[in-house]
Amino acid sequence: MNSSARNQFLGTITTIKQGPINAEVILTLVGGVKLTALVTLDSVIALELAVGKEVYALVKASQIILLTDLDMKVTARNNLAGVVKTILQGKVNAEVVLELDGGQLLKATVTEEALEEMKIELGKPLRGIFKANSVLLAVK
């Protein structure tokens, strides 16, 4: 599958909680990492989403917020722990890649200023957070 999203995760749907307008879809990725998406009921029907089905979760790197405080409570449904694996620096932004449990990679873009202020470096534990409505689901 081709996409411009820097984060493309293959997962299996483990839970679908339907509301009157939207549905919360919980995926389990390789290594057991849980990821939550919020989609419309129309999407559930159109994509034929069901427990046990494999789907792709797409998240733009610009939607990821990095936290150095690993115990901070946040309202974002996706709060993934990882360790900085690579940093690609630019003139304005940097790409920080976290290795999650199970070997999945989470890519985030941050400003060079944030990289310096947060003292982000290789091997540092961080959390990548993003809201469930930042996740797009796709099927083959």
Residues 42 and 71 in one domain: no
Residues 32 and 43 in one domain: yes
Is 110 contained in some domain?
yes
Position 108 scores a pLDDT of: 98
The answer to whether residue 1 scores a pLDDT higher than 80 is no
Helix (H, G, I), strand (E, B) or coil at 86: strand
Position 109 scores a pLDDT of: 97
pLDDT over 70, % of the chain: 100
Instruction: Tell me the residue range of the domain where 72 lies.
Output: 61-130
Burial of 90 (0-12, 13-18, 19+ CB in 10 A): exposed
Residues 40 and 100 in one domain: no
Taking only the tens place, the pLDDT of each residue in 86-116 is: 999 988 899 999 999 889 999 999 999 999 9
Residues 84 and 34 in one domain: no
CB 65 within 8 A of CB 72: no
Position 2 scores a pLDDT of: 81
With CA atoms as reference, report the closest residue to 87 among 118, 63, 130, 59: 118
Q: What is the rounded CA–CA span in Å between residue 67 and residue 56?
A: 25
Position 3 scores a pLDDT of: 86
Average pLDDT, the chain: 95
Q: What is the rounded CA–CA span in Å between residue 34 and residue 74?
A: 16
* Cα radius of gyration (the chain): 15
Is 1 contained in some domain?
no
Q: Count of domains in the chain?
A: 2
Residue 19, C-beta contacts closer than 8 angstroms, at least 6 positions apart: none
Residues 76 and 98 in one domain: yes
